[in-house]
Structure 1
């Protein structure tokens, strides 16, 4: 039977459409890698890392706020648990830059951090909340979480102070949580285009606990009250304790020792 050019093109079209691209990751473990190392304090544990890859081959259609369609790079996430290095307090993961596969995935960013091992040490019913998170961007793509970022040349070495913060919430349901509060919000973001090594050392000041109690009704004049380790307290609009005040309280106490 003779196949006309039009029928031939239709056959070719449906053959290609029916043969979906395998979008799986196939990282090159012998290729270029970025090491991420976390020095974990005794009371904390390393969270699972969220590693994002992007592809310019496997795109998808997204829409602007006005409904105009446009193509975006494809993205795919994989989660990696950092591994303890011997009997040390260092935990490490190696991230393949080349994600491989038919989509030719490339490493885009990694989200990682630390959290409390035992939130119940702060009281019955206390759960872990948030904080202690880091996002490192290895390309020009926005990782999807709001916030500004710092640009870093070369490898990234971070040493950051954190304080325990116990918050009691009433609006939306009663809940007590312990958080890690530091210089920034839940996630602190960095862009390190040339990095091949990332080192994160969170310094936990366990003896300086901040506490807060949220309002019981949502109305003007009702604010969260923050209680600081020096005995002071104040109602404030901010969503976390003042890092500068906590630093000042700790440094003053250490100076008197």
Structure 2
């Protein structure tokens, strides 16, 4: 039976293909699969909802969001910050109260120690036949043990107290995609240019070609690099930027003067091609079968 026969069972080597096929069928081991076009969002979809944007806005890094979705995200983060801040302030008040209680207990302990010392001096002056008393104290705070043992009158010093210190929260809201600071004033409203096709009677979401470049009239898609002009919000192709805008740095529609920072590269979705996108590999971790 040859190696390439359909029912080849005489091979002396357990090949990589056979091992990979058996691992996929067994349900064990980590499986790496390439993500296709259907698993990556489109270029005009929100990075949070993964749905076409109704009121699109873009960050300085070029990530597209629906205005309603990003507003809900910012509000939720600020609400979470206020909740953590209240917990932090409550912890500070509790620590101050414990410090005051500890100071009062230490003051009372010093007073008792002073009274005992005065009592011993009085007994010594009276002069007894047995001499000064040298009785040993059975207190667990005597003979310097008060510095080593915890203060049992403070709740946080109890042996069974769980130390869960709340750190001071960060008031900065960060972008959920890039992780950089996010401010609402930095969001730029995006203006799409619709494709005018009188023969296409489909709704906007059902159309395959929805938007185009207002200058070159090229159809926009995941395979076409796009940029947002910050001053007006128009979306143009990078080919238009390189060949038209960068010649004299003038807005092709309004004639305004532009700068390098006014061109925001729009982060694309995915096409499934390695040349266009990176990190298109998905990892599915499953239980590992050990010998």
TM range (shorter): under 0.3
TM norm structure 2: 0.21
Bigger helix fraction: 2
Higher CA-based Rg: 2
TM norm structure 1: 0.22
Relative contact order higher in (CA < 8 Å, ≥ 6 apart): 2
Bigger strand fraction: 1
